[in-house]
Structure 1
């Protein structure tokens, strides 16, 4: 945890695999998360906002450009169990193979939804981008077209 500076506070979150991500609280949330989160304790954070961090990586010990924003909607619960992925059939495609597929190819993948963009109108069709994370913590961005698909992700 970094000391508070005016209206924001930075946290470094570490998952069970040792991967790190920077979490930031702003404004009135600084005091709330300063009280809720204790160094060395384990939590489940729900309703956080993922986004790119374009800040300088020179003084950070994190090898990627993503950050988490802790908002007033963020819920904090004690961590009491290991995050489990349900067993899935072997015909689901690994993320690293999805990139090799031709454009507009249908594939079956399994992952946790970590971020959803709002619905957009592109031309006369609805479109949404969804960020998925697989069991090995790899991220993939999926573009979903048509109102049929988008209705399932609202």
Structure 2
């Protein structure tokens, strides 16, 4: 029998102090992790608020003054702000007019065709519809 490993033995108080120390260390580490998590969440919320404010800063006149490349990036920023993930500005040939592509919060794919013009152009939308993509009109 090893002395001090059982209650009532000479080393039992040392074992109790060791348990208390281990509990304090684990509790302290847990507190540090919780604090770091709360700090990260707070920083994320602050960043999201700044991004939301930045995106909302543009008036319609300012949006109208954007180049077509800037307007596509602006639309992508709006999508990210509203919770879309994997948002990319496509801008390549053969994409059937898809300028911004991403995933909505519920997992559905989001495809946006941006146009910087004074009249409606439906060529890319019609091609997409032929491939089973339903256009969604905002208003």
Common fold by TM > 0.5:
no
Q: Which of the pair has more CA radius of gyration?
A: 2
Normalised to the residue count of structure 1, the TM-score between the two structures is 0.21
Structure with the higher strand share, 1 or 2? 1
Structure with the larger helix share: 2
With the length of structure 2 as denominator, give the TM-score of the two structures. Answer: 0.22
Structure having greater relative contact order (Cα 8 Å, sep ≥ 6): 1
